Amino acid sequence: MAGSGQRRRPVVALYERIADAVHDGTYPPGSTLPSEPKLAAELGVSRPALREALLLLQEDGLLTVRRGVGRTVNARPPRRGFEQLQPLEGLIGAGEPLRVRALLRTVEEPTDFTTQHLHAPARAELRFWESVLTGEGAAAALSHEWAAPDEVLDAVHPAFARALRALDGEPGAVGGEPGAAAVSMLAVLVEASRETALSAHSGVTATLLGRRRGEQLGRPADTPAVLVTQVVRVGETPVLAAKHMLPTGAPALPVLHSH
């Protein structure tokens, strides 16, 4: 796989430290985390970085913010569903597909999110694509997409594995030039799946952009946003996991609720 050096983004590494403390019982279900200043001091990190990591943990359902109480650890968070197996750039483009601009195409080690949703082993190599979707000159969404390890894809969806390898080293792809025009990983998967049945499950959560994603989308950090998470499977095997962040003012996203 291209991009042999695995990376862990700083906020993601902090996210993992806190998630590990949740999983090992340091912060058991129902407990309340220390205040931001105290937790930042305990972890030896800045408060802005901590706030970003806590926001991600909240979005992934590990934490809940309760007024007057603080951040508490969830046992099993409730989820609300969204499902459309179409590339996001076409789904929210209102007839005019959005442009996908590659920010990062790399390989990274599993995070708590990808371990949970892709069942990736600790030493696995996962393709990670970060993209901004734009329309009419304005950023409409930020997408993070991960593919299952190559050995899994080779076994359950070789056409998807081949399609990803064909893009390695291309402009805007793994090892390619950031900022180049690109396609989303979901678009690659859908195109490669004309003879392969896919199923998926998604969740929709209200959140805030946060500092880094606000900078990427040209919006203030406290901009309200909708976070869509999606896991796509072949049979019982997950092959793609994604997070899509749509800030206030983004094109409308069709949502189907199941009861």
For 160-176, write each residue's pLDDT tens digit. 999 999 988 664 444 44
Structural domains in the chain plus CATH codes:
10-73 (1.10.10.10), 88-247 (3.40.1410.10)
Strand partners, 229: 203, 243
Q: Confidence class of residue 257 from pLDDT cuts 50, 70 and 90?
A: very low
- CA nearest neighbour of 128 among 17, 240, 234, 18: 240
For residue 29, pLDDT beyond 60: yes
How much is the average pLDDT of 181-204? Answer: 87
The two counts, helices (H) then strands (E), for the chain are 9, 9
| Residue 87: predicted pLDDT | 79
Q: What pTM was computed for the model?
A: 0.69
How much is the average pLDDT of 35-47? Answer: 90
Tokens representing 24 are 């090992």
Distance CA 184, CA 131 (A): 7
Q: DSSP code of 75?
A: S
**Which residue do the tokens 């800045």 mark?**
46
Strand partners, 65: 71
Q: DSSP code of 7?
A: B
Angle at 84 between CA 199 and CA 80, to 5 degrees: 90
For 83-108, write each residue's pLDDT tens digit. 446 777 877 755 567 889 999 999 99
From residue 32, give the alpha-carbon distance in Å to each of 63, 76, 105, 222: 9, 15, 36, 23
Residue 63 near residue 74 (C-beta atoms within 8 A): yes
| Residue 89: predicted pLDDT | 80
**Does residue 182 or residue 72 have the better pLDDT?**
72
